[in-house]
């Protein structure tokens, strides 16, 4: 019996139970039957949760690009692997076959090797959503270099932090990127970032926007001429199962971003398996995930998951509102998309616009629609289900994280009955538990708790680049022996999970995971600011928006608060990026602090949300009177 595909609910429970009773047999069989290996593993999994030490498929040898590309060439060489839909609808879409993808990746891999990149070197990729981005990722994987894709909306200083943290040797970028009616000057941002990054000796630049740029002698080169010269045959490096495949930075609740490290074999098995099942992938499907490849969703479900299954995956350069709000629907009709995977923030934004935009297009090709990145509210769920899925496409609300590598809790399309706002059941192999405040496992249903996972799964990130202690402290110390997700969840009467949101200091704004600390650091750099605290508050479209409580220095120089608000937002844009700008600001004299000096954020969250009902236990506050002052200041 194959475990790779679940066909009905009864089989789901069978596979699920097998995966819990005999996880080694379960994952071992999936790995053996569906992938190409140079050498088999010794142990399917070897772990010590207390030490945060997890290994999958020990001693196995493979190259993931053999599995994403070469393996398909015989049967699917002329099948489209990637459809590229440009920002401008008048520019022709590009169809790249598996044969062409193989050629492009080999050429790129050879260029990287010629430029001195070797197995284990880190390569920063700062590109728009164009085919070169997917090709660069795969070329790194081909030669065993570790890719570190940085979202092309981050500022120079945010990129620099990420490049320095993992000491990247090379940056792959473009002259610029198109996004709606804007052009983003990517090379200029990289030039500024690299002033602080001595490890980078080579920059390869793709031409996309024809923006005039500076080329630094000895460091920068145009990519195209190098590709033209390169051979289209490239031997794949033999990688160990646990060799790092990539680093992807995610926000932490404190300090600098965390470089989550994903390794080769486990990530491969997890993303391939979840893609196949959750989306009910079949051979002739055209899969479209609208995420940015700079986030984990793009890594796992635009690039790796689909290509591992020999699928056709769409990559879209633009935004849902350009040239108008019908763009998504137009693309679905144009490419006859069968699975459409997007984020609640996009759904809410589009649901606010006229229904005419949706109704003007034929969306009958769709069979599964999915959501990811934050809790989907009931109204958005129904709008998506009624108007996009025409009530016939299962809505797969998929819960997972950068840290988990792939989907963890989600309906399996056409197998698991869906329920609005519920991510429903864990996928086979995933063992979630809810923990109470006393750190005990909550048995039974209809309860809320902290969401942990009690057994390793193949896609789990193995460490934080350069800081294993932080990895251990962040994920394995709150609930010993378990992985703590940072999310709260509720389990209903039949065991379905509903994710209620972050329980730590991370705020999800328009699906972007933002740590409060780096934003506060940026605000505090403003000369007028003494201290600040930011929290999220509910926002109709973004899910959450940021509310800043700011204490000013007593210099009296900054009397114009409106200008000050603008300047503070500019500081945030420069240090973190425009996605982290504050929607609201309130100047206060003090912040509510405990005797140990910790800001009591739950109080600020309530004030920001306009909920003044019950502030709970404030006995540990040093300055309880400040609550009324801040509250009155808000009114
Ligand atoms: O709070 C959860 C929320 O997004 C967080 C992970 O963010 P990130 O690492 O950026 O990865 C996003 C894409 C996988 C989670 O801790 N989240 C993600 N998916 C859902 C969700 N919250 C509720 N429902 C979801 N389906």
- Domain CATH for 104: 3.40.50.12780
- Domain CATH for 583: 3.30.300.30
The residue from 390, 408, 437 where one domain ends is 390
pLDDT digits (tens, 9 = 90+) for 260-269: 999 999 999 9
For residue 288, report the distance from its CA to the centre of ligand 1, in Å.
19
pLDDT digits (tens, 9 = 90+) for 2-43: 999 999 999 999 999 999 999 999 999 999 999 999 999 999
For residue 564, report the distance from its CA to the centre of ligand 1, in Å.
33
Q: Is the CB of 398 inside a 6 Å radius of any atom of ligand 1?
A: yes
For residue 471, report the distance from its CA to the centre of ligand 1, in Å.
18
Q: What gap in Å lies between CA 282 and CA 219, rounded to an integer?
A: 45
Nearest CA to ligand 1 atom 3: 374
Mean pLDDT of the chain: 94
pLDDT attached to residue 557: 62
Q: Is the CB of 406 inside a 6 Å radius of any atom of ligand 1?
A: no
Whether omega for the bond prior to residue 323 falls within 30 degrees of 0, making it cis, is yes
Give the confidence band of 555 by pLDDT, cuts at 50, 70, 90. Answer: low
Interhelix angle for 23-34 vs 264-278, to 10°?
90
pTM: 0.91
pLDDT attached to residue 598: 77
Contact between residue 212 and residue 263 where contact means Cβ atoms under 8 Å apart: no
What percentage of residues in the chain have a pLDDT greater than 70? 98
Lowest mean pLDDT among 59-63, 70-74, 605-609: 605-609
Mean pLDDT, to the nearest integer, of 604-608?
93
Q: Is the CB of 487 inside a 6 Å radius of any atom of ligand 1?
A: yes
User: Is 295 found in the same domain as 160?
Assistant: yes
Q: Is the pLDDT of residue 81 over 80?
A: yes
Q: What gap in Å lies between CA 176 and CA 172, rounded to an integer?
A: 12
Q: Is the pLDDT of residue 558 over 70?
A: no
Ligand 1: atom nearest CA of 410 is: 26
Choose the residue to mutate in 513, 514, 515 for probing ligand 1, maximizing ligand atoms within 8 Å of C-beta: 513
> Phi and psi dihedrals of 428, rounded to 5?
-50, 140
pLDDT attached to residue 437: 82
Mean pLDDT, to the nearest integer, of 477-487?
95
Q: Is the pLDDT of residue 281 over 60?
A: yes
For residue 372, report the distance from its CA to the centre of ligand 1, in Å.
6
Tokens of 350: 């589009």
Mean pLDDT, to the nearest integer, of 79-106?
98
pLDDT attached to residue 601: 86
pLDDT attached to residue 237: 98
User: Is 386 found in the same domain as 514?
Assistant: no
Tokens of 187: 């090379």
Of the two residues 191 and 598, the one the predictor is more confident about is: 191
> Phi and psi dihedrals of 95, rounded to 5?
-110, 120
Q: What gap in Å lies between CA 420 and CA 18, rounded to an integer?
A: 28
Residue 415 lies in a domain: no
Give the confidence band of 301 by pLDDT, cuts at 50, 70, 90. Answer: very high
DSSP 542: T
- 3-state SS of 214-227? CCCCCCEEEHHHHH
pLDDT attached to residue 191: 98
* Number of domains forming the structure of the chain: 2
Residue 431 lies in a domain: no
Nearest CA to ligand 1 atom 25: 399
pLDDT attached to residue 556: 62
- 3-state SS of 61-125? EECHHHHHCHHHHHHHCCCEEEEEECCCCCCCCEEEEHHHHHHHHHHHHHHHHHCCCCCCCEEEE
Q: Is the CB of 370 inside a 6 Å radius of any atom of ligand 1?
A: no
Give the confidence band of 447 by pLDDT, cuts at 50, 70, 90. Answer: confident
pLDDT attached to residue 254: 64
Nearest CA to ligand 1 atom 22: 374
> Which of 163, 159, 161 shows the shortest CA–CA distance to 186?
159
HSE-CB for 448 with a 13 A CA cutoff: 7
Helix, strand, coil proportions of the chain in percent (round to 5)? 35, 25, 40
Q: Is the CB of 399 inside a 6 Å radius of any atom of ligand 1?
A: yes
Residue 421 lies in a domain: no
pLDDT digits (tens, 9 = 90+) for 364-403: 999 999 999 998 989 999 999 999 999 999 999 999 999 9
Nearest CA to ligand 1 atom 15: 401
What percentage of residues in the chain have a pLDDT greater than 90? 85
Residue 15 lies in a domain: no
> Phi and psi dihedrals of 317, rounded to 5?
-80, -25
Nearest CA to ligand 1 atom 7: 401
Q: Is the CB of 137 inside a 6 Å radius of any atom of ligand 1?
A: no
Q: Is the pLDDT of residue 635 over 60?
A: no
Residue 134 lies in a domain: yes
Contact between residue 561 and residue 551 where contact means Cβ atoms under 8 Å apart: no
Residue 372 lies in a domain: no
Residue 446 lies in a domain: no
Lowest mean pLDDT among 236-250, 305-319, 550-564, 604-618: 550-564
pLDDT digits (tens, 9 = 90+) for 485-531: 999 999 999 999 999 888 877 899 998 888 888 899 899 889 899 88
Nearest CA to ligand 1 atom 12: 373
Q: Is the CB of 402 inside a 6 Å radius of any atom of ligand 1?
A: yes
Nearest CA to ligand 1 atom 2: 374
Residue 490 lies in a domain: no
Residue 633: strand, helix, or coil: helix
Q: Is the CB of 486 inside a 6 Å radius of any atom of ligand 1?
A: yes
Give the strand pairing for 395-398 and 432-435.
unpaired
User: Is 520 found in the same domain as 386?
Assistant: no
Print the domain residue range for 84.
Answer: 30-362+382-390
pLDDT digits (tens, 9 = 90+) for 169-189: 999 999 999 999 999 999 999
Nearest CA to ligand 1 atom 6: 401
pLDDT attached to residue 122: 98
Mean pLDDT, to the nearest integer, of 339-361?
95
Choose the residue to mutate in 347, 373, 381 for probing ligand 1, maximizing ligand atoms within 8 Å of C-beta: 373
pLDDT attached to residue 255: 65
Q: Is the CB of 380 inside a 6 Å radius of any atom of ligand 1?
A: no
């Amino acid at each position: 019996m194959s475990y790779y595909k679940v066909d009905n609910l009864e089989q789901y429970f069978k596979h699920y139970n097998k995966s819990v009773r005999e996880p080694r047999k379960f994952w071992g069989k999936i790995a053996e039957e569906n992938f190409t290996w140079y050498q088999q593993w010794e142990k399917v999994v070897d772990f010590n949760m207390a030490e945060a030490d997890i290994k999958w498929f020990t001693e196995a040898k493979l190259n993931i690009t053999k599995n994403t590309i070469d393996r398909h060439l015989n049967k699917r060489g002329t099948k489209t692997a990637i459809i590229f839909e440009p920002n401008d609808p008048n520019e022709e879409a590009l169809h790249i076959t598996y044969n062409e993808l193989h050629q492009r990746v080999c050429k790129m891999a050879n260029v990287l090797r010629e430029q001195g990149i070797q197995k284990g070197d880190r390569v920063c990729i700062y590109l728009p959503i164009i085919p070169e981005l997917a090709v660069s990722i795969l070329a790194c994987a081909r030669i065993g270099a570790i890719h570190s894709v940085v979202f092309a909306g981050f500022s120079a200083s945010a990129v620099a932090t990420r490049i320095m943290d993992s000491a990247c040797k090379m940056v792959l970028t473009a002259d610029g990127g198109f996004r709606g009616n804007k052009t983003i000057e990517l090379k200029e941002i990289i030039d500024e970032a690299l002033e602080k990054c001595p490890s980078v000796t080579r920059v390869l630049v793709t031409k996309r926007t024809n923006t005039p740029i500076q080329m630094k002698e000895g460091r920068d080169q145009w990519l195209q001429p190098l590709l033209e010269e390169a051979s289209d045959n490239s031997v794949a490096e033999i990688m160990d199962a646990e060799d790092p495949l990539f680093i992807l930075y995610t926000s932490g609740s404190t300090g600098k971003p965390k470089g989550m490290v994903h390794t080769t074999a486990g990530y491969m098995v997890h993303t391939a398996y979840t893609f196949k099942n959750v989306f009910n992938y079949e051979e002739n499907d055209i899969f479209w995930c609208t995420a940015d490849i700079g986030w984990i969703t793009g890594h796992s479900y635009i690039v790796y998951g689909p290509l591992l299954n020999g699928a056709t995956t769409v990559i879209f350069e633009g935004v849902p509102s350009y040239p108008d709000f019908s763009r998504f629907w137009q693309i679905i009709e144009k490419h006859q998309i069968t699975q459409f995977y997007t984020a609640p923030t996009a759904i809410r934004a589009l649901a606010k616009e006229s229904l005419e935009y949706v109704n003007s297009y034929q969306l009958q090709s769709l069979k599964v629609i999915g959501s990811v990145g934050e809790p989907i509210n009931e109204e958005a769920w129904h709008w998506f289900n009624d108007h996009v899925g025409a009530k016939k496409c299962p809505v797969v609300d998929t819960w997972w994280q950068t840290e988990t590598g792939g989907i963890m809790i989600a309906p399996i399309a056409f197998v698991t009955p869906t329920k609005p706002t519920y991510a429903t059941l864990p996928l086979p192999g995933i063992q979630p538990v809810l923990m109470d405040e006393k750190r005990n496992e909550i048995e039974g249903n209809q309860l809320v708790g902290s969401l942990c996972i009690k057994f390793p799964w193949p896609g789990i990130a193995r460490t934080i680049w350069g800081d294993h202690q932080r990895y251990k402290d962040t994920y394995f110390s709150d609930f010993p022996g378990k992985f703590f997700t940072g999310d709260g969840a509720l389990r209903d009467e039949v065991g379905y999970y509903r994710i209620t949101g972050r329980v730590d200091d991370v705020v999800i704004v328009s699906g972007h995971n933002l740590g409060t600390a780096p934003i506060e650091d940026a605000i505090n750099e403003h000369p007028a600011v003494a201290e600040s605290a930011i929290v999220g508050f509910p926002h109709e479209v973004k899910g959450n928006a940021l509310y800043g409580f700011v204490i000013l220095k007593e210099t009296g120089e900054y009397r114009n608060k409106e200008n000050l608000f603008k300047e503070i937002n500019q500081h945030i844009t420069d240090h973190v990026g425009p996605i982290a700008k504050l929607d609201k600001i309130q100047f206060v004299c003090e912040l509510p602090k405990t005797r140990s000096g910790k800001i009591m954020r739950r109080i600020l969250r309530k004030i920001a949300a306009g909920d003044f009902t019950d502030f709970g236990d404030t006995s540990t506050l040093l300055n309880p009177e400040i609550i009324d002052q801040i509250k009155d200041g808000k009114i």
